[in-house]
Structure 1
Amino acid sequence: MIPLVYHASYSRLALPPKHRFPISKYAHLYHYLLNSGLASEQQFISPKPTHAAELERVHDAGYVQAFIQGTLDAKAIRRLGFPWSQHLVTRTLHSVAGTALCARRALDQGIALHLAGGYHHAHHDFGSGYCVFNDLVFAARQLLDSGEVDKVMIIDCDVHQGDGTATLTAGDRDIVSCSFHCDANFPARKPQSDYDIALAPGTGDNEYLDSVNTTVNYLLELEKPDIILYDAGVDIHADDALGLLSVSLQGLYLRDLSLLTQAKQRGIPLAAVIGGGYSPDPLQLTQRHSQLFLAANHLWP
């Protein structure tokens, strides 16, 4: 069975009225997978919260402590995009640990999926764009420091560039960062990833899929990573509230199927996080995120 990582704290966060972040999407996706038969209860595993000492291997100790203790200044909190609360701390410590757990399960079984994650806007000493700590780099660093792998590739297909991932891994050859994103979208300043594939607003299925398929095939042959951490953001969808690309629901499925197929054919373990996705319609957003699980079930029935 494909390991699926989830914790109830992911959606237990009170946000102000009309806040743009769809915090309920994690719980909706969890129940949708069960009710649709895409997953069974036996597949789900829950992470234990990570600790400050572990986070400080990636992030500035002062920033880590200020967030956990609730002493961040107003500017730092505004940059996060979330009001600080103890619920936010609980959610963050579990979800960051969830990606690391997902990566380790992928090493064991070839594939694992996390019903959260993709906090690629978190930098060394500050968070940004709904991202407190960078779970992708955190998971990569845990695997590398433990000696379980020698090289990690982060393939980021969220519509927004993974700027935090880029700065955190700059000059680090054991973590290879690759970001597919809309060139006109957030963040305004885009630091250089190892590989940046910037797409024009309005890019549709054919051009998007050709870019992803060709680039990933080339990079996997070139870099030969021991594991892939895949950010399967669905904010590339044509109707996403914060995206500027024009990829269809079928395009999401084909992208995920392609990434997972290329990894499986090469025998490279793959751990995926669901990444960004923004819609006022909970069912439509859930269906977009579910394409990753449909693709995985097709390849690992």
Structure 2
Amino acid sequence: MLTVAWRSEYIQPLPDGHRFPMLKYELIPEQLIRESIIRESQIFKPEPAKRIDITAVHSEEYLTKLETLALSRSEERKIGFPHDERLVFREKCIVNGSIYNALYAIENGCSINVAGGTHHAYSDRGEGFCLLNDIAVATSYLLRHRLRERVLIVDLDVHQGNGTAAIFKNEPGVFTFSMHGANNYPLHKEQSDLDVPLPDGITDEPYLKLLERHLNEIAERFQPDFVFYQSGVDILHTDKLGRLAISAHGCALRDRLVFRFCKIHRLPVAVSMGGGYSQRLSDIVNAHVSTYREAASIFD
């Protein structure tokens, strides 16, 4: 069974200039129900994450600065959003969505957060439209509560998960795997446990071969017992920022490959949406909905 995290607050707190790419968070649940991929009963709406869970990853000082709206202009510019209390509330909901996402994945095999993948957030600062690192906090939750011992983070957003890599660089219970554009943001890449930098213009076949080979190698080498999957659709050839040449069909095959890998190895998988910046909003929404469709076909 597939479970889905969603709150209307994922979209509401954003200023008008940022609303176009963020409208997907409102449209995806509507499309999922319209296509009967999920039922409304499969949706859960998280409250903001608890401070104790957030500060297991993020510093007390940084969280306090977020909550008291004390970020400097320089810190605000690095994040890319105007800093206000609604945005902090939104981020806390996303983080708790990913915690519950992980718990539902353990229960049901697969669960998806209609948001999340804020992988540029470090323990002490935000970057790249990311204030808090939802996957890192949820991973920490599983390890701290001894619900899982060996967590694999599969980050297939076009941008390297630099914050996630830095947070877990000395954590033997976490394996960070990132396939990302070599020439894309961030300029300075952190070192994941496995980084696969991709050339501009890579197409479906070589991309999928690389992914399959590395997943199989990681399974043998690390033997994970849980997977977080960052399923950004900014790898699409239509993406304004991505620089890759992956078709919509190739993106769906990518998702299918990851979900089959998890199913074969009996690994619960919690999915976060990640990025998507195609010119047409329909291209973004359809690609994200395809991720749910592939998950439902394998786990339902």
TM-score (norm 2): 0.97
**Backbone CA RMSD of aligned residues:** 1.2
Q: How does 1:203-222 map to 2 (within 5 A)?
A: 203-222=202-221
Distance (whole Å) between structure 1 residues aligned to residue 22 and residue 65 of structure 2 = 23
Distance (Å, rounded) in 2 between the aligned partners of 1:218 and 1:33: 34
Shift, 1:253, TM fit = 0.6
1:70 corresponds in structure 2 to 69
The 1-side partners of 2:170 and 2:88 are apart by 30
Separation of aligned partners in 2, 1:215 and 1:142: 26
Say whether residues 1:34 and 2:48 are aligned partners: no
1:80–1:131 Cα contact (<8 Å) kept = yes
Counterpart for residue 53 of structure 2? 54
- Paired letter, 1:142: Y
Distance in 2 separating the partners of 1:43 and 1:3: 5
How much does 1:16 deviate?
A: 4.3
| Rounded Cα–Cα distance in structure 2 between residues aligned with 1:64 and 1:14 | 20
C-alpha contact (below 8 Å) 2:109/2:299 kept by paired residues: no
- The answer for unaligned runs of 5 or more in structure 1 is none
Task: Give a deviation string over 1:214-248, Cα, whole Å, max 9, x none.
Answer: 11111112211110000001000001111011000
**What is the distance in 2 between the residues matched to 1:211 and 1:10?**
33
Q: C-alpha displacement at 1:13, in angstroms?
A: 2.1
Q: CA deviation at 1:281?
A: 2.1
Q: Could you list the runs of 4 or more consecutive aligned residues of structure 1 that deviate by over 4 angstroms after TM superposition?
A: none
- 1:21 Cα deviation after fit: 6.5
Q: Does 2:114 correspond to 1:115?
A: yes
Give, in whole Å, the separation in 2 of the partners of 1:198 and 1:108: 34
Q: Secondary structure at the match of 2:177?
A: strand
In the other structure, the counterpart of 1:265 is: 264
1:172-228 C-alpha deviation (Å, 9 max, x unpaired): 110110000010000000010000011100001001111111111111122111100
Task: Give the aligned partner of residue 148 of structure 2.
Answer: 149
* % same residue: 32
- Distance (Å, rounded) in 2 between the aligned partners of 1:54 and 1:183: 33
1:189 corresponds to: 188
Matches of 1:32 and 1:85, distance apart in 2:
30
Give 3-state SS (helix, strand or coil) of 1:3's partner: strand
1:92-131 alignment runs, 5 A limit:
92-131=91-130
CA contact (8 A) 2:160 2:186 kept: yes
Structure 2 segments unaligned to the other structure (5+ residues): none
What TM-score do the two structures reach when normalised by structure 1? 0.97
Q: Given that residues 113 and 272 in structure 1 are in contact (C-alpha distance below 8 angstroms), is that contact kept between their aligned partners in structure 2? A: yes
Q: Is the 8 A contact 1:21 1:278 kept in 2?
A: no
Query: Which one-letter code corresponds to 1:55 in the other structure?
Result: I
Per-residue CA deviation, residues 142-193 of structure 1 (Å, 9 max, x unaligned), is: 0000011111110000000010011100121101100000100000000100
**8 Å Cα contact 1:151-1:227 kept in structure 2:** yes
2:285 is matched with: 286
Aligned length: 300
User: Distance between the aligned counterparts of 1:205 and 1:148, measured in 2?
Assistant: 36
